[in-house]
Amino acid sequence: MWITPEEVLLANALWVSERANPFFILQRRKGHGKGGGITGLLVGTMDVVLDSSARVAPYRILHQTGDSQIFCSIACGSSRKEITEHWEWLETNLLQTLSIFDNNEDITTFVKGKISGIIAEENKSKAALEDEDSGKFREAELKMRKLFGMPGEEKLVNYYSCSYWKGRVPRQGWVYLSVNHLCFYSLLLGKEVTLVVQWTEVTRLEKNATLLFPESVRVSTRHTEHYFSMFLNVNDTFKLMEQLATIAMRQLLDNESFAADHSLPKACKTLKNVSALKRDLDARAKNERYRALFRLTQDERLDGHTDCTLWTPFAKMHIVGQLFVSNNYICFCSREEDLCQLIIPLREVSIVEKADSSSVLPCPVSISTKNKMTFLFANLKDRDFLVQRISDFLQRTPESGHSGSPSPSTTPLSSSLPTPTGAAGEPSQRRHYSPSLPTATQSLLHIYQKDAPEEHGPKATKEKMKEESWNIHFLEFGRGVCMYRTSKTRELVLNGIPESLRGELWLQCVGVQVSQGHLYM
Confidence of residue 419 (pLDDT cuts 50, 70, 90): very low
> Per mean pLDDT, which range of 15-24, 146-155, 263-272 is the poorest?
263-272
Q: What is the mean pLDDT of residues 168-187?
A: 86
CA–CA separation, 98 and 100 (whole Å): 5
Confidence of residue 55 (pLDDT cuts 50, 70, 90): very low
CA–CA separation, 236 and 241 (whole Å): 9
> Which pairing describes strands 181-188 and 216-221: parallel, antiparallel, or unpaired?
unpaired
What's the pLDDT tens digit per position in 128-172? Answer: 444 455 567 777 788 888 888 888 888 888 888 888 887 777 788
CA atoms within 13 A on the CB side of 432: 2
Which tops the pLDDT comparison, 420 or 120?
120
- Neighbouring CB atoms inside 10 A of 179's CB total 19
Indicate whether 42 pLDDT > 90.
Answer: no
Query: In this structure, are residues 209 and 216 in contact, taking their beta carbons and an 8 Å threshold?
Result: yes
CA–CA separation, 436 and 415 (whole Å): 16
CA 276-282-285 angle, 5° bins: 140
CA atoms within 13 A on the CB side of 277: 19
> Which pairing describes strands 349-354 and 513-515: parallel, antiparallel, or unpaired?
unpaired
Question: What is the model's pLDDT at position 267?
Answer: 52
Question: What is the model's pLDDT at position 367?
Answer: 93
What's the pLDDT tens digit per position in 276-323? Answer: 777 778 888 888 888 888 888 888 888 889 999 999 998 889 999 999
Question: What is the model's pLDDT at position 334?
Answer: 92
Which tops the pLDDT comparison, 82 or 509?
82
CA–CA separation, 11 and 72 (whole Å): 9
Query: In this structure, are residues 250 and 186 in contact, taking their beta carbons and an 8 Å threshold?
Result: no
Indicate whether 341 pLDDT > 60.
Answer: yes
Indicate whether 394 pLDDT > 50.
Answer: yes
Question: Above pLDDT 70, what percent of the chain?
Answer: 71
> Per mean pLDDT, which range of 69-73, 90-94, 265-269 is the poorest?
265-269
Collapsed DSSP state (helix, strand, coil) of residue 499: helix
CA–CA separation, 24 and 237 (whole Å): 42
Residue among 499, 492, 445 at smallest CA distance from 509: 492
0.75 exceeded by pTM: no
Question: What is the model's pLDDT at position 273?
Answer: 52
Q: In sequence order, which ranges of 271-425 are alpha helices (DSSP H)?
A: 276-294, 383-396
Q: What is the mean pLDDT of residues 56-70?
A: 74
Indicate whether 351 pLDDT > 60.
Answer: yes
Query: In this structure, are residues 373 and 478 in contact, taking their beta carbons and an 8 Å threshold?
Result: yes
**Distant-in-sequence, close-in-space partners of 380: CB < 8 Å, separation ≥ 6:** 306, 308, 323, 363, 364, 365, 386
CA–CA separation, 27 and 20 (whole Å): 9
Cβ-defined contacts of 35-43 (< 8 Å, 24+): 41/189, 41/190, 42/189, 43/14
Indicate whether 416 pLDDT > 60.
Answer: no
The pLDDT mean for the chain works out to 76
Question: Mind giving me the DSSP string for 1-20?
Answer: -EEEEEEES-SSTTEEEEEE
Question: What is the model's pLDDT at position 443?
Answer: 59
Given 3-state DSSP classes, what are the helix, strand and coil percentages for the chain, each rounded to the nearest 5?
35, 25, 35
Confidence of residue 324 (pLDDT cuts 50, 70, 90): very high
**Distant-in-sequence, close-in-space partners of 500: CB < 8 Å, separation ≥ 6:** 446, 449, 463, 467
Indicate whether 430 pLDDT > 50.
Answer: no
What's the pLDDT tens digit per position in 370-389? Answer: 888 899 999 998 889 999 99
Confidence of residue 270 (pLDDT cuts 50, 70, 90): very low
